[in-house]
Structure 1
Amino acid sequence: MVLALSVPDVSAQAKPSGPNPGLVGLLPDEAPYDLNEESFEALTGKWAPVRTKVSSLVEKLHSDKSLDVVGQRRVIEELKEQIRLIRGGIQQPNNKPVVRELVTLHGRLARRVGLAEALLDAVTISTKSAKPKAAAGTPREKLVGSVMVLNTYLKSFDTGATWIDFLSLNEVAVAVQKKAPAKRDLDTLRAALKTLQTKDNLGNAAQIKFLQEPQFEAVETGLAAYLAVAGKPMAAPKSPGKPLDDKTRSALRPHLVTLAAAIASYEETASRTAATRARKALMAIQGISRSQYEQLGEALRPHYLGYNLRVVASEQLLARYVAQTRVEKKPVRDVILEAQVSGDSTTTARVGIDLLPSQQGARFNMVLEGKTITDTRADKKGASIFTHGEHTFSATKLVHFDGDRFTTKPAEVAVDANNTIVDVAAKSSLVRRIARKKAIKLTPRSEQIAAQKVAADVAPEFNGEVDKQFKQATADLAKHVNGPLDELKLAPAGRSVTSTDTELRVSRQLMGSGKLAGGMPNPAVVSKKGLVVHLHESAINNALDRMNLAGKTMTEDDVKAEFEKTVSTFLGREFHFKSEAKTSDDSGPTTLMFAADDPIRVRIAEGQLKLIIRAGLKQGGGKEDIPAQVVTMPFDVRIAGENVAVARGSVKVSAVSRPKSRAKQIVRAGVVRKKLTAALKNRMIDRHFNVTREGADPINLSVTRVEANDGWLSIVFE
């Protein structure tokens, strides 16, 4: 008996007959429309073949029923190679004109291939083996590194570009990125190797010696090693773990079909319903096989279950924020080595920060560096010793941040004390000579005492101030960030706080049960001196769901009040939208009847934020209510001079359900368009602002870049 389970556009058999069909019947028969060749017409020139190949491979994976499991894995491996190629292209400056299209293609393709591989593993592998660690890299990987080193080395010379052209190094760099090089690529590599191997024929001793330097030799050796194995047929991909039994596979397939269809729908609509179906399918899979559930979760996490709010702060920006210089003058009154010491001291100290690598929370040192200058007089037994001291010090205090609280360790202080005897005064020259001689003899001891006193002055104050500031920072974090998120039921389901020696990274997963989240953010948006915020559309949509607008009837003012309440809760202070003057054609308040599913959705793609409202209009005066419409309002977001410009594009209106009368629908669409767009005008937002600091001048920040692409809104502050 064959049990068939149907879902929209997808049919699969729970108990397929014959050999394991793998992805056949799991993936939709039609390839995703947003990965067809026409979707990326802007990718021309050297990227046109990539566009064609990707489209062809994706189509083959979905529609070629003759592919067995081994053939499917081959296609997936080829697609993964294209993903690596595109990822490399994103990083290359010469691809800047098409980087948006490359980022979009990379994101869409990586997610779909990740899903396909996860599904194939789920129906073929019972226990997935751990990935082996490469000992030293393949010949191709070694050559990639050598070419990169040589390229960097040559660019440090004024004549470097000439040598790069002479060796066709740019073409070599492109060719060696390909896991399956074409004949033209291999010819390029062979030509470069021949040029290096025949360098003695140049006839110029200086040039020959230059080409014998280690950077060139590494590339020559790498080319020879790589060409010895390149171009040979690839071995059939091996199943990476223990095979799955037929009974478990048969039970899993219907739920895998549902999972694949739900994610396909989610890609197209960002629908809450689709996300819920996907999560329910995963839970059903967990009930059948925990190992398959864990495999799927691990495979899908980077694409659909990852962090959807990511903040990356550079050390340079953090250093600007904490930077302070303080000057403190005070008198010196002490007894040192039985002498009465008087005078004054001036201490100049500068505060900084030093990030430390850490995968378990962020770690950094607060750094205090400075100098204490003293001018003192020591009186003892009729002699006065005048001393000038210059004592440099450095204090470091370790701070750990786990996402909720900051914890600190006691400061460590190092002092380099230097005393110089300026003058000796006494009633007789004999006493002066004896006093000077003794003072010189005691200089090491006096410097040791000076170092101890500087450390004793610096450490308590530094410890006290840093501890106080981070205790307050912990309280502020609970009050203004974590607390409001809890109140709004948006507490992160997962988070990651890490640091490198140049960046502090905080990532949060704003996702409730039955939801999906984000994948990897735009890799082209980085800042070495500022702050980058990556916000995924799923974080926005999950927050909108918490407002419980589904199925409600609300006036425009009610909706505005609801948004103001939510924003006020998050900010911890009253927030109100700027009131708009009424226009002459204002026909009165708008009353919205929100749809039961996905009343408000936000999509982010191709430089735009799209606000999608599913709602009807309640009309008074005996007029017929307008049934639910889908209103799509695109907003272009870009830097325009001294502002961030938010410009509304062409608004589209369509009926949720097919209307009986096309003419009536056109009228309805016009009414809805007019009502809903009246309050949503173009905006110019000042991109410059100040960040206040306690006890110091504010720092100036500006929005220097805004990118809306592949589901992510990325903003750079510098």
Structure 2
Amino acid sequence: MRQQFLWIAGCCSIIVWAATQTWAYQDETPQPVGLSGLMAAYAPDGLSPADFEDLSEEIDESWKEWTLETGQFVTDFYEGENDTFEAQETALKRVRVKLNTMEKALEDSRYRSIHDQIGPLYSNLIARVDLAEAVLETLTIDEEAALKVRTQAATETLKSALANFRRDMNSVRGGQAWLKWAKSSQLQNFRPTNEESIETVNKVKAQLETREEYGDEIREFMSRESFLQLEDALAAVQAAVAPVSPEAQLELREQLGMFLETVDEYYDEPTPELAASLREQFDAIRLTAPDGGEALSSAFAVHFLNYNLRLAISEGLLNKVIGETRNESSQINDYIMGARVVGNQNSNVNLSVNIQPSTNEARFELNLNGVVRTNSFGSTSQATIQTTGYHTFNAVKSVGFDGNEFSTRPASVSVRANNRPVGARTRFSGGLFGGIADRIAMREASARMGQANGYTQRSIQEEVSAELNREVDSRFAEASMELQNRLYGPLREYGLYPDAIKYSSTSSQIHGSTRLANPTELGGGRPNPGIKASSKGILVQVHETLLSNGSNRLELGTEGKKKLSDGELRAMIEERLSKILDRDVDLGEPDESSEGTMFVFDEPNPIRFQIIEGEVILTIRAGLDRGAEGSIPTQIITVPLSPSVVDDKVILTRGNVGVKPVERPSNIAEQVARANVMRQKIQASLPEQEIDAVFELEQEGKIIKLRITSIVAESGWLSLNIE
């Protein structure tokens, strides 16, 4: 019996030992590293193996093998067993090489034949790769490098607070003692990697926290703004130098995984809720990440907080709009170099625009090239000299634009004067000695031509410079005022004024970029580099976020705007557009069948846009109040609109209108009937349209004809080329 007991006990011990070893082994199971467990398990739509197979069938024969290999690399990036940092970096680098090839091809007109195929692929892939690289960098950043990044802003804040504190203490009696008390000299030389510096920060911060232990007078003095700013700056330094805990690392991984998941959801359906969630998650990651979110910030800014309206204006178009040739004639009646001069002059002047490279503003030069021909008679008491002149000049006036106002610089004028005497008459002309007298007068006139040319040169310089400065300065000052009053004023009134504006220029184009987004909204992404303005046109690119964020400013679904008729909605939009565009806008009369019907918006921001695969998809969240006919609860309506240019017409083709309920209906047949009503209502309100692609622009009496030559709706951007 005893032996049996010992045998059983021994077996139990072995089992317990084995179980313990199993648990220990499980505890030692390697945790996911890098992107493992954070990225989607499969490639998203547009990047799947099937998508690359389809693309290889469409693309040029010479690119088929490249396309299939790219598909393999992308599939491996998402689905491969890349369980180490090194494997993930290798997978990313292979895809990055393919992206670099795409970018070069898109920027090269020689590969124009494949731009339509690889452009959407590039846009679909670049953001995901940039974000993946940023996430990997965030997770693998060197501790010392992370500390440097993390403390950089905090150190600058500390120096600023110290400067304010020093100014304040220098202005009060006994302030020098407080500077010593706060160890201002040591703090000024703060270094985040120096233990003594960190100890000084901790000591001064602790001293500041003891203000409540002092009497009223000192406590009040230590509550001055400069003390509070210094205390906040020291707290920021303490937070920045604090080591990242293992718990924080786990929290960071969770945040990054949720962030990447939300990115994929947003690309599928860009709702206001997901946009706000991405902003919140990004801000949270910045607080947790060891580098303060620096690596992720760059990628997020490029693809989610970028400009959502872009303009590229060619030099050719500016010359078409601004350039002109003038021919002017005038009389000469002056007193020059002791002689009365009369005659006439004819000026032929050509104005052109030359765009100049500039990174912080758009800059261009107005070039004025002219020829002045003169025929004059200069008379003194001794002789009358006939002189002809052929004078050339070149004037350059520099103009800048920063997105808010124009600025000008003084004109620079160069002149080449060429006067030539061609005849002379004296009181002896016609007599015995007339010929001799005339020749003497001609020799004297020729001897003075250098002086005459100098006078002519100065006169033309002064006249051209004064007139050019006066006219250009006046016109662009007026243009700045009109921009503020007639455009930016209404935009501010309706909450549509951009929160970011940037203008720049190359040697051949002016680039303007603006963003409309509040702290809970997203901006634009990175546009397709293959879509460019022509050498004589303008490229206008509108991102889907501009349309969605602009629609949010209608404040539909808020108090007083929860119920609107079709006519009221049209009138509100017409009023805003008319004021912004400074001309009457007529959206047409509402459909007669909609009389008495009200749109019902149960939540704010019920309208959003998505631009993808050649379509602008309008999504509306609304119900209908049909009075006696009953109400239709809130539905999600999607209206695909396909823009195209055919001959001289822009055609907006409406696709199948989709309708689905927000809440699952109890009666399917009733929902089908509701969907049909909503579909008919939307189709009546948004008919297919055809508008002229050719329009006219008036510039100071000059009519310029412009034509929309192409419209591309792809990867979040609606791009219009106008020539």
Give matches, 1:612-631, under 5 Å: 612-621=619-628, 623=630, 625-631=631-637
Match of 1:110 in 2: 126
Identify if the C-alpha distance between structure 1 residues 93 and 401 changes in structure 2 by more than 3 Å, giving closer, same or farther. closer
The alpha carbon displacement at 1:42 in A equals 4.1
1:707 aligned onto 2:718: no
In structure 2, the gaps of 5 or more residues are 1-26, 149-242, 429-433
Match of 2:188 in 1: none
Match of 2:436 in 1: 430
The alpha carbon displacement at 1:540 in A equals 0.6
Residue 435 of structure 1 aligns to a residue in which SS? helix
Identify if the C-alpha distance between structure 1 residues 660 and 88 changes in structure 2 by more than 3 Å, giving closer, same or farther. farther
Name which of 64, 76, 82 aligns with 2:98: 82
Match of 2:287 in 1: 287
In structure 1, the gaps of 5 or more residues are 1-14, 131-242
Match of 2:200 in 1: none
Match of 1:611 in 2: 618
Matched AA of 1:409:
R
**2-structure distance, mates of 1:692, 1:267:** 41
Aligned 8 A contact 2:310 2:540 in 1: yes
Match of 2:36 in 1: 24
**1-structure distance, mates of 2:28, 2:655:** 49
Match of 2:660 in 1: 654
**1-structure distance, mates of 2:616, 2:649:** 17
Per-residue deviation, residues 136-155 of structure 1 (Å, max 9, x unmatched): xxxxxxxxxxxxxxxxxxxx
Aligned 8 A contact 1:20 1:69 in 2: no
Aligned 8 A contact 1:352 1:368 in 2: yes
1:530 aligned onto 2:542: no
4+ aligned runs moved over 6 Å, structure 1: none
Matched AA of 2:41:
D
The alpha carbon displacement at 1:55 in A equals 4.0
Name which of 554, 563, 579 aligns with 2:589: 579
Identify if the C-alpha distance between structure 1 residues 366 and 597 changes in structure 2 by more than 3 Å, giving closer, same or farther. same
**2-structure distance, mates of 1:511, 1:16:** 47
Per-residue deviation, residues 478-519 of structure 1 (Å, max 9, x unmatched): 123322222222222222210111001111111111111112
Residue 501 of structure 1 aligns to a residue in which SS? coil
Name which of 33, 44, 48 aligns with 2:45: 33
Aligned 8 A contact 1:100 1:709 in 2: no
**2-structure distance, mates of 1:69, 1:557:** 59
Residue 400 of structure 2 aligns to a residue in which SS? strand
**2-structure distance, mates of 1:557, 1:70:** 61
1:443 aligned onto 2:446: no
Matched AA of 2:702:
D
Give matches, 1:34-183, under 5 Å: 34-39=46-51, 41-44=54-57, 45-64=61-80, 66-91=82-107, 96=112, 98-125=114-141, 127=145
Aligned 8 A contact 1:367 1:394 in 2: yes
Per-residue deviation, residues 21-40 of structure 1 (Å, max 9, x unmatched): 11122223333123213345
Segment of structure 1 superposing worse, 358-367 or 660-669: 660-669
Residue 685 of structure 2 aligns to a residue in which SS? coil
**1-structure distance, mates of 2:629, 2:487:** 47
Identify if the C-alpha distance between structure 1 residues 636 and 43 changes in structure 2 by more than 3 Å, giving closer, same or farther. farther
Identify if the C-alpha distance between structure 1 residues 55 and 271 changes in structure 2 by more than 3 Å, giving closer, same or farther. farther
Matched AA of 1:76:
L
Identify if the C-alpha distance between structure 1 residues 275 and 681 changes in structure 2 by more than 3 Å, giving closer, same or farther. same
Matched AA of 1:450:
T
**1-structure distance, mates of 2:439, 2:642:** 83
**1-structure distance, mates of 2:146, 2:537:** 41
Name which of 539, 562, 584 aligns with 2:546: 539
Aligned 8 A contact 1:498 1:506 in 2: yes
**2-structure distance, mates of 1:671, 1:580:** 16
**2-structure distance, mates of 1:245, 1:434:** 102
Give matches, 1:344-423, under 5 Å: 344-423=344-423
Compute the TM-score of the two structures, normalised by the length of structure 1: 0.77
Name which of 679, 688, 693 aligns with 1:687: 693
**1-structure distance, mates of 2:375, 2:350:** 21
**1-structure distance, mates of 2:576, 2:140:** 47
Which structure is larger by alpha-carbon Rg, 1 or 2? Answer: 2
Aligned 8 A contact 2:591 2:685 in 1: no
Match of 1:216 in 2: none
Residue 40 of structure 2 aligns to a residue in which SS? coil
The alpha carbon displacement at 1:677 in A equals 0.9
Match of 1:178 in 2: none
Which structure: greater helix fraction?
2
Compute the TM-score of the two structures, normalised by the length of structure 2: 0.77
Match of 2:275 in 1: 275
Name which of 627, 640, 651 aligns with 1:645: 651
Residue 547 of structure 1 aligns to a residue in which SS? coil
Aligned 8 A contact 2:33 2:85 in 1: yes
The alpha carbon displacement at 1:590 in A equals 3.1
**2-structure distance, mates of 1:95, 1:447:** 56
The alpha carbon displacement at 1:595 in A equals 4.7
The alpha carbon displacement at 1:631 in A equals 1.6
**2-structure distance, mates of 1:26, 1:638:** 40
Give matches, 1:301-380, under 5 Å: 301-380=301-380
**2-structure distance, mates of 1:350, 1:93:** 33
1:697 aligned onto 2:702: yes
Segment of structure 1 superposing worse, 55-64 or 336-345: 55-64
Aligned 8 A contact 1:377 1:385 in 2: yes
Aligned 8 A contact 1:43 1:101 in 2: no
Match of 2:300 in 1: 300
Matched AA of 1:117:
E
Segment of structure 1 superposing worse, 293-302 or 37-46: 37-46
The alpha carbon displacement at 1:575 in A equals 2.9
**2-structure distance, mates of 1:66, 1:114:** 18
Match of 2:236 in 1: none
1:563 aligned onto 2:573: yes
Per-residue deviation, residues 79-112 of structure 1 (Å, max 9, x unmatched): 1111122233435667555533321111010011
**1-structure distance, mates of 2:695, 2:291:** 51
Aligned 8 A contact 1:115 1:299 in 2: yes
Aligned 8 A contact 2:342 2:378 in 1: yes
The alpha carbon displacement at 1:362 in A equals 1.2
RMSD of the alignment, in Å? Answer: 2.5
**2-structure distance, mates of 1:590, 1:54:** 53
**1-structure distance, mates of 2:270, 2:263:** 9
**2-structure distance, mates of 1:81, 1:244:** 34
Aligned 8 A contact 1:387 1:419 in 2: yes
Identify if the C-alpha distance between structure 1 residues 375 and 362 changes in structure 2 by more than 3 Å, giving closer, same or farther. same
Aligned 8 A contact 2:597 2:627 in 1: no
Matched AA of 2:125:
L
Residue 33 of structure 1 aligns to a residue in which SS? coil
Residue 492 of structure 1 aligns to a residue in which SS? coil
The alpha carbon displacement at 1:318 in A equals 0.6
Give matches, 1:184-195, under 5 Å: none
Matched AA of 1:481:
L
The alpha carbon displacement at 1:549 in A equals 1.6
